[in-house]
Amino acid sequence: MSPKKIVLRFGPDISEEPIIYRLVKDYDLLINIVKANVNPQKEGTMVLDLTGDQIEGGMNYLREKGVQVQALSQEIVRNEDRCTMCGVCTAICPTGALFMERPAMEVYFDGDKCVVCQLCLKICPVRAMEVRL
Amino acid sequence: MPLLERRGICVNLRTGFRALVEGTGIMLRSYSEINQKIKSGKAVVMSADEFISLVEENGLSAAAKKVDVVTTGTFAPMCSSGAFLSFGHSAPRMRMQKAWLNGVSAYAGIAAVDAYIGATELPEDDPLNSNYPGEFRYGGGHVIEDLVARKTVSLKATSYGTDCYPRKSIETVITIDQINEATLFNPRNAYQNYNCAVNLSDRTIYTYMGMLKPRLGNAHYSTSGQLSPLLKDPHFKTIGIGTRIFLGGGTGYVAWHGTQHFPSIQEPEGKCLGPAGGTLAVIGDLKQMSPRWLKGVSFTGYGASLAVGIGIPIPLLSEEIAHYAAATDRDLYAPVVDYSDAYPGRKPGCLTHVSYADLKSGKITVQGKEIPTAPLSGYPKAREIALILKERISNGDFLLTEPVQLLPSPADGRAGNVLNG
Ligand code: SF4
Ligand code: SF4
């Protein structure tokens, strides 16, 4: 059975709950944490690879806990032709996937750090950040 | 830079030139001498950041003697932009009363087939902020970008019909090359300095300065600092009506002072923090501009606009002018303003001032809290503009023009009126 990639987004209130433990224990899922950005008392994001028979059940449990769950069939790309290197996305990207190199002030995008939170999509004034399915 | 020269800049910024540093008022070269050198390929041209390094190495006098022209640049969202379009007459003729380009209304109350498409205009069926924060994916700025990218744009117009202009409606498509005239005319661009926007409230706010997170979560600023054209000529000694500039990738001109042109020198508690408040009205043939340097922008929760690339050459006519052109990010300051209450409420004053050097470091401290900063105005692109302009001048493709009239300066004491109501 092939693993399923999902993105979780949760508010500061849930970041201390042992949700991963529950997924393993109660839903018998094999979990590979692809990316995680969790800080106490802050909003967090996580990308997981799930394998098992009870994936749907596990995802429903997460939703009941108030976690936003989305299948990760998407990836974020930067349209280099549109990007003006303004830099306004760099103070908003939660993982530092969009970052600025000083003193040249050039903006770089590191797709490996991106957790597909999609914040940059509506922040970028020229809409250079795009979702690729 | 030696201390005395630094102080020289500040005194000059505040009160206009005083010969504090000996010899600064002496004329170094004239416009026609510079143009002669440009034509013979001998002009020494530097971008503002290159000139700063030269001054730091060799001192102001030597640098001012060596360099003829300093180029500046900025590429940022600039509201108060738009284009006059003259579509040409259909057969039979029509006096367009209302017109839409790709669904965005253009003001047609100018003449039979002339219209002005404004950068912040939105489609009539746009959901706006009804689903807050609205996306504002397309507006007048995007129409201008599509035109200049030579894309096909739909034109719809309606009218009531007259004896000489009988036609009552038209639905067609145009491209920039098919219409008679397309003139970019931006009534207020190139803001000399701008607020650094923060949010003191407890909720995220969506502004023309971007998304501002609650409780001083981030700070956004919007000039290219030491590369920014009007920060390098605080007293408008060289930039005036008729100044030839880089505009949207092509050539344009300063047409007038911009709307809300209230130049001044910031001096809280007697400390000189550089200029603020000047603006330019600029004009140029849209047909020779490029979508690389004119880009439609969308501010979530606020609206649409146009990012405009502008570059202005500063002729080093005197050492005094060179002083100003050598101002660095450490000498130039932006006021930090709260956009949750003070700005919308039009309350005067600011939280503090921060230097562009601090803003560009990525963090500033406001009310004891360290907050991340981000620009809306791209420094690498501003630099690219300054370098393109330098190249054009060095190649002899771009001659300087002496202004036919200078613009109001801080000494003129212009100030804004409050709208009653
Ligand atoms: S979607 Fe955008 S804002 Fe979110 S992590 Fe990826 S790059 Fe950063
Ligand atoms: S906000 Fe958009 S244009 Fe600006 S640097 Fe980020 S991706 Fe590029």
**Residue in B164, B196, B272, B350 annotated catalytic:** B164
Cβ atoms B333, B355 nearer than 8 A: yes
In this predicted structure, the answer to whether residue B103 has a pLDDT above a threshold of 50 is yes
The verdict on a CB contact (< 8 Å) between A84 and B210 is no
Q: Measured between alpha carbons, how far is B421 from B144 in angstroms, rounded to an integer? A: 34
The verdict on a CB contact (< 8 Å) between A122 and B300 is yes
Cβ atoms B72, B312 nearer than 8 A: yes
Cβ A116 under 6 angstroms from ligand 2: no
Which residue, among B171, B120, B128, has the nearest Cα to B144 in the 3D structure?
B120
The per-residue pLDDT for B88 is 96
A122 min Cα distance to partner chain B (Å): 6
* Structural fold of domain A4-74: Alpha-Beta Plaits (3.30.70)
Cβ atoms B371, B7 nearer than 8 A: no
Average pLDDT along chain B? 93
Q: Measured between alpha carbons, how far is B40 from B59 in angstroms, rounded to an integer? A: 27
What residues does B294 pair with on adjacent strands? B308
Question: Which two tokens mark B52?
Answer: 């700063």
A71 touching chain B per CB within 8 A:
no
Considering only CA atoms, which residue is closest to atom 2 of ligand 2? A124
The per-residue pLDDT for B12 is 47
Domain with CATH 3.30.70.260 in chain A: 4-74
Which residue, among B401, B379, B399, has the nearest Cα to B47 in the 3D structure?
B379
Say how far residue B145 (Cα) sits from the centre of its chain: 17
The per-residue pLDDT for B21 is 46
In this predicted structure, the answer to whether residue B198 has a pLDDT above a threshold of 80 is yes
* Structural fold of domain A76-131: Alpha-Beta Plaits (3.30.70)
Look-up of token digits 């959901």: B127
What residues does A98 pair with on adjacent strands? A109
Q: Region B194-204: what's the mean pLDDT?
A: 96
3-state class (DSSP) for residue B204: coil
Domain with CATH 3.30.70.20 in chain A: 76-131
The verdict on a CB contact (< 8 Å) between A126 and B375 is no
In this predicted structure, the answer to whether residue B323 has a pLDDT above a threshold of 90 is yes
User: pLDDT by residue (tens digit) across A45-73?
Assistant: 888 888 888 988 888 898 888 888 877 76
User: pLDDT by residue (tens digit) across A80-103?
Assistant: 999 999 999 999 999 999 999 999
Question: How buried is residue A106: exposed, middle or buried, by Cβ count under 10 Å (0-12/13-18/19+)?
Answer: middle
A121 min Cα distance to partner chain B (Å): 10
A82 min Cα distance to partner chain B (Å): 8
pLDDT bracket for residue A6 (50, 70, 90): confident
The per-residue pLDDT for B24 is 64
pLDDT bracket for residue A2 (50, 70, 90): low
Residue A36 CA, ligand 2 centroid: distance in Å = 24
**What's the maximum distance between 2 C-alpha atoms anywhere in chain A?**
51
Which residue, among B278, B81, B263, B272, has the nearest Cα to B192 in the 3D structure?
B278
Q: Does residue B164 carry a catalytic annotation?
A: yes
User: pLDDT by residue (tens digit) across B270-291?
Assistant: 889 999 999 999 999 999 999 9
Neighbours of A1 (CB within 10 A): 8
Spell out which residues of chain A touch residue B297, defining contact as CB-CB under 8 Å: 125-126
